[in-house]
Amino acid sequence: MTDAPTADPALPEYLRRLLAAGDDLPLRHRIPRPTATARRSAVLILFGEGPRGADVLLIEKSAHLRTHAGQPAFPGGGADPDDDYPVGTALREAEEEAGIDPDGVRVLATLPELFLGPSDNLVVPVVGWWDDPRDVTVGDPREVARVARVPLADLADPANRFRVAHPSGYVGPAFGVAGMVVWGFTGGLLDAILEAAGLARPWDTTDVRQLPPLGARRPQLPGTLDPVDDEDAAAPTVADPAPDGPPASTVPPR
């Protein structure tokens, strides 16, 4: 992990705890070793203080994409040749997908890289802080349906937590927040972040809900970042109604 201002008194305590524990993020030990051909990718985990307290930025992918359709995620995607990787990649993608001004983001650290085997992607989570949060906007509506600032209190609420079972055989943690299900790579990373930040609360891990391949046009494991073509090269997203109408709720019923 890069040097982080863990002693900065201006940062919230939960964020200082996360940065201090970042080198041993609980998720990293459940990720296989990367291949020599892994594609470099990055996601931005952007924290801020919103109307309902501490929050994190998520996006929701367009329902019309060939893969990851309707899936929530952190803004992010594959590195471009001229990126200052990984920070430049994460900031560029956040600007393109959610209208985030890179100059308004204080980059705090990069967490250990995580390998997504099914898509052969090596993903670096970049942790950022919004000193002066601004409105978020949908960037390219062909890729992003909505952008949302999700309160950490909602993510930690046991009532919003469960596990999902995907037809691929994947079973993992999920969150029912902001009218969507956050699962796969993003759900697992949020689960690890809450634990490392000291925000996790006991929840019913026996509550497992079947998750259909929402919007998928071909079978694949959840939460992957494999690019199929230019329109789908970004990571999944979450927020306000899409230009062509609000997406259907993705929260499975109890």
Domain boundaries in the chain?
13-232
Which residues fall within 8 angstroms of residue 154, CB to CB, at 6 or more apart?
Answer: 52, 160, 175, 177, 178
Largest Cα separation within the chain, whole Å, is 48
pLDDT value for 115: 87
pLDDT value for 5: 47
Q: Distance (Å, rounded) from C-alpha 137 to C-alpha 98?
A: 5
Quote the pTM value: 0.80
Tell me which residues of the chain have a pLDDT lower than 50: 5-7, 65-67, 69, 214-254
pLDDT value for 81: 93
Residue that has been written with the tokens 């040097």 in this structure? 3
pLDDT value for 133: 84
Rounding to the nearest 10 degrees, give the CA dihedral for residues 124, 68, 226, 191: 30
Q: Per DSSP, what are the bridge partners of residue 147?
A: 59, 238
Which CATH class name applies to 13-232?
alpha beta
Query: Both tokens of residue 159?
Result: 């009532």
Which residues fall within 8 angstroms of residue 245, CB to CB, at 6 or more apart?
Answer: none
What's the angle, vertex CA 130, arms to CA 127 and CA 139, rounded to 5? 85
pLDDT value for 33: 82
pLDDT value for 223: 42
Buried b (16+ CB within 10 A) or exposed e, 194-215: bebbebbeebeeeeebebeebb
Q: Distance (Å, rounded) from C-alpha 196 to C-alpha 177?
A: 20
pLDDT value for 24: 86
Distances (CA, A) of 77 to 26, 28, 69, 112, 168: 22, 19, 15, 16, 23
Classify residue 12 as exposed, middle or buried by CB count within 10 Å of its CB (0-12, 13-18, 19+): middle
